[in-house]
Amino acid sequence: MTYDHALGDYAYSSWSMRIWLLFDRAGLPRKLHFADFTKDATVADQIPQLAPAKTVPSLRTPEGAILSEPTAIAEELATRHPEAGFWPVDPLARATARNLTEEMHSGFAALRGFCPMNLRLAYTGVNAPPDVDADLRRLEKIWAHARSVTGSQTPWLCGEYSIADAFYAPVAARIAGYGLNVSEEAQAYVGAHLADGGFRRWRAMGMVKGGTVEDYKRDYEVVDWPGPQIKPAQAVEEGASVNSICPYSGEPVTHFMQTGSKVFGFCNAFCRDKTVADQEAWPAFVNLLSSVRR
């Protein structure tokens, strides 16, 4: 059961991020199609194989159904893959998660408009106007309520990671990236997203794939990204690679990266560059690195 899955730019497409995180977490098979936000062509023109969809994310099921609304995609995935645990099993937690998801889908327009998602940059000195501040206070309230009413003992809102958490991941990116003021409890939830493996993989790809979209930039002082510290690495032209096949594809290596004193090989520039961006985000590379150190 393989899906056709259309995405927008990793750095900027918040709705694409939400659905990708679900696929990534469950390991669902899909064939990816990308709509480049720097191109003059419309999104619809870039994904003709998913017509009549005209936005990203979009999805074609194995039977041929076309889905282009994120909540519809999420619900369909949850129905088709109950083993993935996209919704909590507990009725109270499930109802809470569903309501959180719908509020995210329809709300927080002020925050989303004032702080477009841009995973390549982080800012300081951002003063939230009253309507954005109201959105932040609402987020604090509903996040705290969800954790309280469900008794969540995990970093997530309703127990184990769910659709609700995937839908709030880009909100966490905005709060972190713009240095917005939220409560300690809300900040802990933001930090859980920044440290999450799926979030880090998505951001790593956003750092290296696609062009810069100027409309998503803002005129604030730029600071380092506030997530986990990234271990240094760099692309190199050649070297005595410790591995002969790519840790992701199993293909022969053609591109190289150095971290510490070791050189590692990959089958293409993208595999290399996403690893340079955040090597600890990729389990296959972490396993390779661990085998070398043993």
Among residues 249, 210, 253, 256, the alpha carbon closest in space to that of 233 is found at: 256
Element (H, E) at 256: strand 255-259
Q: What is the pTM of this model?
A: 0.96
Helix or strand (DSSP H, E) at 11:
none
Q: 48: Cβ–Cβ under 8 A, 6 or more apart, which residues?
A: none
* Cβ-based neighbours of 283, under 8 Å, separated by 6 or more: 197
Q: Where in the chain is the domain with CATH 3.40.30.10?
A: 3-84
- Ranges of CATH 1.20.1050.10 domains, the chain: 91-201
What local confidence, expressed as pLDDT, does residue 292 receive? 86
Secondary element (H or E) of residue 87: none
Please tell me the distance from the alpha carbon of residue 212 to that of residue 190, in angstroms, as a whole number.
Answer: 25
Over residues 48-52, mean pLDDT: 96
CATH code that applies to domain 91-201: 1.20.1050.10
Q: Is pLDDT at 12 greater than 90 in this prediction? A: yes
Q: Which two tokens stand for residue 95?
A: 């109802």
Q: What is the pLDDT of residue 1?
A: 74
pLDDT in tens, 233-250: 999 998 889 999 999 999
User: Is residue 294 over pLDDT 70?
Assistant: no
Residues 6 or more apart in contact with residue 130 via CB below 8 angstroms = none
Say how many C-beta atoms besides its own lie within 10 A of residue 270's C-beta.
14
**Mean pLDDT, residues 243-268:** 97
| Integer Cα distance of 191 and 172 in angstroms | 8
pLDDT attached to residue 154: 98
Q: What secondary structure, in 3-state letters, does 95-162 show?
A: HHHHHHHHHHHHCCHHHHHHCCCCCCCEEECCCCCHHHHHHHHHHHHHHHHHHHHHCCCCCECCECCC
> pLDDT by residue (tens digit) across 210-236?
999 999 999 999 999 999 999 999 999
Instruction: Identify the CATH homologous superfamily for domain 3-84.
Output: Glutaredoxin (3.40.30.10)
**Quick one: pLDDT at residue 228?**
97
